[in-house]
Amino acid sequence: MATQMQMARQGKITDFMKLVAKQEQVEADLIRDRVAAGTIAICANINHSSLIPRGVGQGLSTKVNANIGTSSAYPDLEPELLKLAAAINAGADAVMDLSTGDHIDISRQKIIEQSTIMVGTVPIYQATVNAIKTHGAVVDMTSDDLLHAIEQQAKDGADFMTLHCGVTRETIMRMRRQTRVMDVVSRGGSFITGWMLHNEKENPLYEHYDDILDICEKYDSTISLGDGLRPGCLADATDRAQIQELIILGELVDRAWKRGVQVLVEGPGHVPYDQIEANMKLQKQLCKNAPFYVLGPLVTDIAPGYDHITAAIGGTLAAASGADFLCYVTSAEHLALPTIEDVHEGVITSRIAAHAADIVKGIPGAKEWDLKMAKARKVLDWDAQMNLAIDPEKAKGKRGARNEEGAEGCSMCGEYCSVKIVGEYLNKPVTYCNE
């Protein structure tokens, strides 16, 4: 079966392309042409039967991902399925299953089965857990272990898979020569780096890239080229290791596109505000406008408990400067596994950042949404305001808890409501001096 990219290159407009075009209020042939060029990816594994596909990339609304998944400390699957539902209800476009707890296969299969949105995975997490069980240590993991995990997750229906193919021996040497404050903060990147340093061998994901392309082509699973050396603090941002890895990722994009395999490219990380725009433009240049997927970026290191806000600040500028896909950050980042409430709040916060950028990018419908809200506020139409809110339930809760039932204004201004006062006078007939 052909991939979405291969069909687009044959001039075909698939049902998925038509659906994405309808969602985005654009012509279907535009979607087809950009899928063919690689600047839009429709992450839709042929085995993900419950999926309502979405497009990620050039000219489309900025998408939002939520991370969920079990851990060794919290191995129970049920809370993660509730987080999946919370992410979908909050308007996420994708979830990533980052499970490392018990029964990883079952966790992934259940999440994919119940998800109507894109599901991403990180196969090296499972390969690592299996290697510890089978061989006794992560560093004893084999290439076959990695390829088996990738094949299994693609077969199960993973729409996109994060693979740290750009962490090469050369990249690591550059990092060691320059030195970093926090070295490697990517979990997958650390597994690969540790394996390479211990075994004194090249990254098996890089060496077996053609085998990975075979798997992804078979299931139309999108490769999300992971940034294993992304900066974990502001001091490490935009350094030689990060840029060296990005250069390699650009080359790997070319190789995937030649095979008709769709690609996302992942980016930082922790980045000072004044470096974000340059990072986005550099990625787009080196990776030929492949869809860019960023974590945050977080614009300061000092806000544990509020990192959903630091990420939203960076995410708005990143998306306005070219990023296509924002990975949410919750208030639990750097502290703990997120709760269901953290997931909801994280998705909404990231969606606000994405929408603010979509206004700047001129995405169809973005400005119109805000205009409808402004008009509802002018006439104090509270029902319309609640329905237009990005988080209607929270807005209704605040409104109901702090205002008398049926109040025309709000308890902030009360009888001194500026909208009401000025509206009363502006709506009166005007008599001019010369009349």
pLDDT digits (tens, 9 = 90+) for 262-280: 999 999 999 999 999 999 9
Residue 299, token pair as written in the block = 């614009």
Confirm or deny that 48 is annotated as ligand binding.
Answer: no
Does residue 279 contact residue 268 with C-beta atoms inside 8 Å?
yes
What's the whole-model pTM score? 0.94
The Cα angle at residue 291 between residues 367 and 46, in degrees rounded to 5: 105
Confirm or deny that 187 is annotated as ligand binding.
Answer: yes
Confirm or deny that 96 is annotated as ligand binding.
Answer: yes
pLDDT per position as a tens digit, 198-234: 999 999 999 999 999 999 999 999 999 999 999 999 9
Confirm or deny that 208 is annotated as ligand binding.
Answer: no
Q: What is the pLDDT of residue 72?
A: 87
φ, ψ for residue 320 (rounded to 5)?
-65, -25
Please state, for a pLDDT cut of 70, what percent of the chain lies above it.
98
Confirm or deny that 203 is annotated as ligand binding.
Answer: no
Mean pLDDT for all residues in the chain: 95
Confirm or deny that 125 is annotated as ligand binding.
Answer: yes
pLDDT at 430 over 60: no
Confirm or deny that 67 is annotated as ligand binding.
Answer: yes
Confirm or deny that 198 is annotated as ligand binding.
Answer: no
**CATH 3.20.20.540 domain position(s) in the chain:** 4-361
pLDDT at 428 over 70: no
pLDDT per position as a tens digit, 71-115: 989 999 999 999 999 999 999 999 999 999 888 999 999 999 999
Does residue 337 contact residue 311 with C-beta atoms inside 8 Å?
no
Look up the CATH number of domain 4-361.
Answer: 3.20.20.540
Mean pLDDT value across residues 243-251: 97
pLDDT at 283 over 60: yes
**Which range, of 35-49, 224-238, 322-336, 398-412, averages the lowest pLDDT?**
398-412
Confirm or deny that 270 is annotated as ligand binding.
Answer: yes
User: Tokens 């205002």 sit at which residue?
Assistant: 403
- The number of angstroms, rounded, from the C-alpha of 388 to the middle of its chain's C-alpha atoms is 24
Higher pLDDT, 53 or 426: 53
Confirm or deny that 267 is annotated as ligand binding.
Answer: no
Peptide bond into 268 cis (omega under 30): no
Confirm or deny that 164 is annotated as ligand binding.
Answer: yes
